[in-house]
Amino acid sequence: MSVTGAESASGGEAQQADHQHQTVPSDISLRVKSLESLLVEKGLVDPAALDALVDTYEHKVGPRNGARVVARAWTDAAYKARLLADASTAIAEFGFLGVQGEHMVALENTPKIQNVVVCTLCSCYPWPVLGLPPAWYKSNAYRSRAVIDPRGVLQEFGLELAADVEVRVWDSTAELRYLVIPERPAGTEDLDEAALAALVTRNSMIGVENLASPKQVAK
């Protein structure tokens, strides 16, 4: 089978020239299938392992993990202290470490401090606690603007901060991965840990939104 555009994937100096001839990759799906069958034939990858990986990140690893960590921090002061002092060890209590989440740091939002996480150089993201990143986090707009115009970006997410709130943008340039602990919303005193975890959104754990009181949401 001839794979149109496969020459664009060549290495070395030829790469730049080859790219000029690349057609619009409507056939990317075919090229991926072709590569997978080659790698399976050579014994480099097991298709069942690929299925398991896709299923894991579609259904088993995602922001519900991070939400459980946040809810525990809200309800257990000793846990929160451990999380802020050594996030990897505290998150390991849940078994939520793993690739792209080995070296964790937890950041606590307060009425006076808003932490926001970005990766300007690629799209580093804490996979074990938040899953794979959403498209907006990988967008050129977010990567370019979060560090120079954080308040403008937050406004687009519906978050208007008072001028005296300190904004801390964390650019994930190394292997540290950041989890924001959003403020616990008002009116949640009667909720248990599981009910609290259900309130925690992915975006609040990146720091681009704050959580509304469930009573406000009901209205």
Partner 1 sequence: MNGIHDMGGMHGFGRVPQDPEATEPVFHEVWEGRVYAITRALGPWRKWNIDTGRYFIEMLPPAEYLRMSYYEKWFTRMVTLLIKTGTVTREEVESGRAAAGSERLTPALTPEMVPAVALNRNIPSSYEPGIVPKFRAGERVRALNIQPLGHTRLPRYARGKMGVIDRDHGVHNFPDTNADGRGPKRQHVYAVRFSARELWGPEASAHDFVYLDLWDDYLERA
Phi, psi dihedrals of residue 41, rounded to the nearest 5°: -60, -35
CA distance 140 to 151: 17
Q: How far apart are CA 57 and CA 209, in angstroms?
A: 23
Q: Is the CB of residue 161 less than 8 Å from the CB of residue 154?
A: yes
Shortest distance (Å) from residue 112 CB to partner 1: 9
- Does residue number 97 form part of the binding site for partner 1 (CB under 8 A)? yes
Backbone angles phi, psi at 126, to 5 degrees: -80, 85
SS3 for 177?
Answer: strand
Q: Is 122 a catalytic residue?
A: yes
Q: Segment 54-73, which members bind partner 1 (CB under 8 A)?
A: 54, 56-58, 60-62, 65
Residue selected from 64, 79, 138, 187 as contacting partner 1 according to rule CB under 8 A: 138
Integer Cα distance of 121 and 172 in angstroms: 8
Looking at beta carbons only, is 77 or 174 nearer to partner 1?
Answer: 174
Q: In the structure encoding, which two tokens stand for residue 123, read together?
A: 């799209």
| Smallest distance from partner 1 to CB 79, Å | 16
Q: Which residues neighbour 109 within 8 Å (Cβ) at sequence distance 6 or greater?
A: 115, 180, 181, 182, 183, 207, 210
Asked about 119 being catalytic, the answer comes back as yes
| 127 contributes a contact to partner 1 by CB under 8 A | yes
Site membership for partner 1, residue 143 (CB under 8 A): yes
Taking CB under 8 A as the criterion, the residue among 21, 23, 26, 99 binding partner 1 is 99
When binding is defined by CB under 8 A, the residue of 67, 83, 106, 170 that contacts partner 1 is 170
Residue choice 76, 81, 110, 175 for contact with partner 1 (CB under 8 A): 175
Q: Which of 10, 37, 122, 139 is catalytic?
A: 122
The verdict on 216 binding partner 1 (CB under 8 A) reads: no
Q: Of the candidates 73, 80, 188, 203, which one interacts with partner 1 according to CB under 8 A?
A: 203
CB 159 within 8 A of CB 212: no
Residues annotated as catalytic are 119, 122-124
